[in-house]
Structure 1
Amino acid sequence: MSPAAAQQQPETGVAGAAETLGIQPEAAPEPWQPLADKGIKLRLDYTGQAATNVSGGIRKDAAFAGQLLWGADFDMEKIAGIDGGALHFAMTQRHGKSLSRIAIGNNTSVQEIYGTQNTHLALLTWEQKLLDDKLMIEAGRTSANIAFLTSPIYCNFQSNSACGNPTFVFKTSNFTFWPASSWGARAKGWFNDRVFAHVGVYEVNPDRKRRGDHGFNFGIKNATGVIVPYEIGYSTTFANDRLPRNYIIGGWFDRGDYSDPLRDEAGGLAVLTNRPYATRHGRSGVYFRFDQMITRPDPRSERGLTLFGVAMFGTSGRLVEKSFFELGLLQTGTFPGRDKDTLGFVINDQRFSDLALENIRAARVSAGGSPDLPRHQIMMELAYGAQLSPAIRISPNLQYIINPDQTSVPFRTRDIKDAFVLGFKFTIDAPTLLAGRR
């Protein structure tokens, strides 16, 4: 994958577990790659996420969700002599249940891996590097969230409020997500080794999110428009900075259809009239995100503490949420001899719009409930990532949700109780596992 694509989250990209869960490549044995000499790099990994709410939510329960990913990267210079060319392919098989859906009642999952629960074509793109690798263009069947608004830091956590991408963008736009691929293209240019500009365009098509879609329908029938994410940033690595950092400003123009949060086509309260919510067109938003390593005791090691944060705002359209703020810390290298382990804490705040609150309030009052609703949902997580071997990583985690939103159960007559969740996440990278058995 290109450097930009390789910064995707652990559960959703074609990158293997060694790249996606913060495992440094130099710590792992050379993965088993029988076709490497021919320019083909194989991918096969499995991610599982379990969760149980020991208190709070609608009822106590437990759920497991998992993803099997397989694919390959084709170096077209080795295969066909095309300098700077590469073909990327990946499929997923997702299964299991969402604890948030069955027991907590909020619309932000405590298991990031949940969604598009079938066998799906997730990635089929051509990547072309130009101008001595200063310009990268990628196009094909893909999704916006593996290239924009993502960082390898985020999926040291399990909650979908942080892992993958800041959840706000999916609540307030048609930002396309892994593995529900559609047509898309992006270009990323580096002005020097630290400053870049990045822009993309992705098909908005509700068919791609339907349960029966498997990603192999390449037509654009029923597409309603496109979404255009963009960003400019300052980015360094251990290769050119003692304390690596990323500072990125960006946003999106969503030129696709979406459902009004409150009204039906006749102007009534859709939740009460039982008519479809009105179709609207066009939204936009902006964001600022950063991560900054703040301690690195040994310049020969990547151990250290990193601070990261996100601020997001909707700028047009009739939105469910108005703003999102996130702040977290991640320590890489914990106890002696545990250089690849991580300990992290993240907290974020989703602020709901007047429209979203009015929708729930109308339903709740009609059922005899109180009109008083919390405006903010706060989610937090404490997670430890243990690198058991170069191929296997586990991450037990504790999550707490203050004011779980009621959007999935609007006729509930009282607030959902704050939820305390125990989570457990693991990833197995098969090529690296097989390398250790040769």
Structure 2
Amino acid sequence: MAGAMTCTAPVALAQDQAVADVDPPSAQSDAPAQWQPLAAEGVTLSLSYTGEAATNVSGGLRRDAAHAGQVYVGADLDLDRMIGVDGATLHFAVTNRHGKNLAAMAIGNNTSVQEIYGTQNTHLAILTWQQSFLDGRLDIEAGRSQANIHFLNSPLYCHFQTNSACGNPTFVFKNSNFTYFPASSWMAHAKLHVTPQVMLHAGVYEVNPDRKRASDHGFNFSTKNATGVIVPWELSFSRDSADDWLPGHYILGGWFDRGDYADPLRDDQVGIAILTGRPAATRNGRSGLYARFDQQLTRPDPASPRGLSIFGVAMTNLSGRVEESRYLGMGIVQTGTFAGRDQDTIGFAINDQRFSDLAMQRMNAARVAAGGRADIRRHQYMMELAYGLQVNPAIRLSPNLQYILHPDQTGAPDRTRNIRNAFILGFKFTVDAMRLLGQ
């Protein structure tokens, strides 16, 4: 999945998280156009595939390998051109996700090394109406979608395969009901450009556990069993106009979660749930805050996408009983590597996930009950080194090396010893079929 995106249409946004590396935002203008047979009628089609393979060559619970993938089919309908509704666009997307999750199978930690894994079915991911007002200064979108393709993302994040960075910093999913692609629910969000550089962005998203079940395919629009809403917000300052030599984005954001969630420690009778086997106590109400940025540092040639960019994220919990207390992440991406490889990238990302006192109590209680010592490590560090090879404008290959220092034991709570640090070989590839057909 792939905060300031260069695409504004939700289908393009969502596809950018799966195919962000196929055609970088700074791609040269002579790249072949996409095949768009219905463009004259106002219809822009999307078709892509993302695959991610991973194997842990050392560490974790045991050695294994897994592949996960996604087929993405979407369309943007320009309703001004089609039926004369000025500033209106209808967005539609369906995905098919398949494959297995190496982290759950063989590593035992709580964060995947294959970000494309999730829902594992055919799913209606997007069905929204987007309306522009005030000469484009105000933009409102409503319908069926997800918070994570609208908030807390950047094209830089998905140069990587680890779910700790792509498509969003993983902290928000551990500590809130932040809705994620492709599990769609009712939503609305609005962007107001206060100035060309300053933007206010806020949304409201239905919290419904039914929408995340494997049996749900996104076509059930009922709000039955919804437990509340989550309200994300962002205030951003951007320097990304054609006149800005070195673009950058600086964002302060957060969320108010008014949906139900499971207590990370206590059961419904105030015992420790992992020991009693009883259902976790149900709570309601959490909030969090984050600051993030991305900045291009070098741009030797305005006619080339070559340049060095950095990004950083700091996140903390404000209220509620949560799994993690804070998250720190940073990364660096060089676009343009060797001679003649202007579209290739090399990047490194690292993040620190700090577990809360409640999570530590739970994991240590399980360790002691299994006969071990209460020496669970509080911090999990995940890092990745990735190279993006632009084979042609439609196909991108990204071999990567990942390392997990101090994997948490959420996937193996009955172990008596800490999980060994894991070294993972990964391989991500993306194919933009519409651009492939346009060659």
- TM norm. shorter chain > 0.5: yes
Equivalent residue, structure 1, for 2:24: 23
Closer/same/farther in 2, CA of residues 187 and 426 from structure 1, 3 Å limit: same
Counterpart Cα distance in 1 of 2:238 and 2:20: 18
- The change in CA–CA distance for 1:18 and 1:102 in structure 2 (over 3 A counts) is closer
| Contact 2:385–2:402, Cα closer than 8 Å, also in 1 | yes
Moved over 6 A (4+): 7-12
1:232 corresponds to 2:235: yes
Q: Give the 3 Å change call, closer, same or farther, for CA 199–7 of structure 1 in structure 2.
A: same
Q: What is the alpha-carbon distance in structure 1 between the residues aligned to residue 262 and residue 112 of structure 2?
A: 21
Instruction: Tell me, yes or no, if the aligned pair for 1:290 and 1:310 is still in contact at 8 Å.
Output: yes
Aligned to 1:297: 300
Counterpart amino acid of residue 345 in structure 2:
T
Give the aligned partner of residue 358 of structure 1: 361
SS in 2 for 1:132: helix
Question: Which residues in structure 2 correspond to 1:21-60 (within 5 Å)?
Answer: 21=22, 23-24=24-25, 26-60=29-63
Aligned counterpart, 2:138: 135
Give CA-to-partner distance per residue, 1:104-140, whole Å, 9 cap, x none: 0011000000000000000000000110101100000
Equivalent pair of 2:323/2:355 in contact (CA under 8 Å)? yes
> Which residue does 2:93 correspond to in 1?
90
Kindly tell me: are residues 432 and 66 of structure 1, through their superposed partners in 2, closer, same or farther at Cα, counting changes over 3 Å?
A: same
Aligned residue type for 1:428: V
Deviations 1:173-216 (A, max 9, x none): 00000000000010001122211010000000000011100000
What is the match of residue 155 of structure 2? 152
Q: Please provide the CA RMSD for this pair.
A: 1.7
How far 1:324 sits from its partner (Å)? 0.1
Q: TM-score, normalised by structure 2?
A: 0.96
Change in Cα spacing, 1:320 to 1:17, as seen in structure 2 (3 Å) is closer
Residue 148 of structure 2: SS of its match in structure 1?
helix
| Kept in 2: contact 1:8–1:152 (CA 8 A) | no
Gaps of 5+ in 2: none
1:31-430 matches, within 5 Å, as 31-237=34-240, 239-430=242-433
- Tell me how far 1:19 sits from its aligned partner: 5.1
Q: 1:394 to 1:363 in 2, by over 3 A?
A: same
Q: Deviations over 1:320-356 (max 9, x none)?
A: 0000000110001111111111110000000001100
Aligned residues: 434
Q: Are the counterparts in 2 of residues 9 and 152 from structure 1 also a CA contact under 8 Å? A: no
Q: 1:28 offset after TM fit, Å?
A: 2.6
With over 3 angstroms needed to count, the CA separation of the structure-2 counterparts of 1:261 and 1:8, relative to structure 1, is farther
CA distance in 2, matches of 1:241, 1:5: 14
Q: What's the secondary structure of 1:146's corresponding residue?
A: coil
- Is 1:6–2:7 an aligned residue pair? yes
**TM-score w.r.t. length of structure 1:** 0.96
List per-residue Cα deviations over 1:333-390 (Å, max 9, x = no partner).
Answer: 1111111111100000000011001101111111101111110000000000011001
Q: Against the structure 1 CA distance between its residues 232 and 12, is the aligned structure 2 distance closer, same or farther, given a 3 Å change threshold?
A: closer
Cα deviations by residue, 1:411-436 (Å, 9 ceiling, x for unpaired): 11100000000000000011110111
Deviates more, 1:231-240 or 1:123-132: 231-240
246-255 vs 20-29, which moves further: 20-29
Structure 2 Cα separation of the partners of residues 18 and 57 of structure 1: 29
Q: Which secondary structure state, in structure 1, belongs to the residue aligned with residue 95 of structure 2? A: strand
Q: What letter matches 1:288 in structure 2?
A: A
Q: Structure 1 CA distance, aligned partners of 2:243 and 2:19? A: 22
* CA distance in structure 2 between the aligned counterparts of 1:78 and 1:407, rounded to whole angstroms: 51
